[in-house]
Amino acid sequence: MQDTLTGPDSFPEDGTAEAEAIPGRDLFIVATFFTPTDAHLARGFLVAEGIPAVVADANLAQANQFLLPAMGGVRVLAPAEYLQQAQDLLAAREHGDYTLSDDADVGPSV
């Protein structure tokens, strides 16, 4: 299920995907989401994979959800040197490469 505004599936093949610089920062947009929760899940996934990432606009989106389409969604940002790796990881996640099978052993239940 694709819940992104400009998710990994929409990245062009030439590497220019979402390479929109944030003024005054060295952060670039990796992906945008309709819900802050999805953005935070993507950020957590990237951080777990060793990519420093932050979520932008989550508070504004929660305060007024009607503005969300106008502001372009909740953004996940990462430094320029991690941009391609972050996009590749999110694309693999969206493709299902990190999905557990229904019978996966995730440890003892408490």
* Segment 64-77, tens digit of pLDDT: 888 888 888 899 99
| SS3 labels along the chain | CCCECCCHHHCCCCCCCCCCECCCCCEEEEEEECCHHHHHHHHHHHHHCCCCCEEECHHHHHHCHHHHHHHCCEEEEEEHHHHHHHHHHHHHHHHCCCCCCCCCCCCCCC
40 Cα distance to chain centroid: 8
Contact 56, 12 (CB under 8 A): no
Please give the distance of CA 44 from its chain centroid, rounded to a whole number.
9
Report residue 13's pLDDT band, with 50, 70 and 90 as the boundaries.
Answer: low
pLDDT band at 61 (very low <50, low <70, confident <90, very high): confident
Is pTM beyond 0.75 here? no
- State the pLDDT confidence band at 101, using cuts at 50, 70 and 90: confident
Q: What is the mean pLDDT of residues 98-108?
A: 85
Maximum separation of any 2 CA atoms in the chain, in Å:
48
Residue 107 has pLDDT above 70, yes or no: yes
The pLDDT assigned to 33 comes to 93
pLDDT of residue 20: 56
Q: Give which of 80, 104, 74 is closest to 20, Cα–Cα.
A: 80
What is the model's pLDDT at position 22? 54
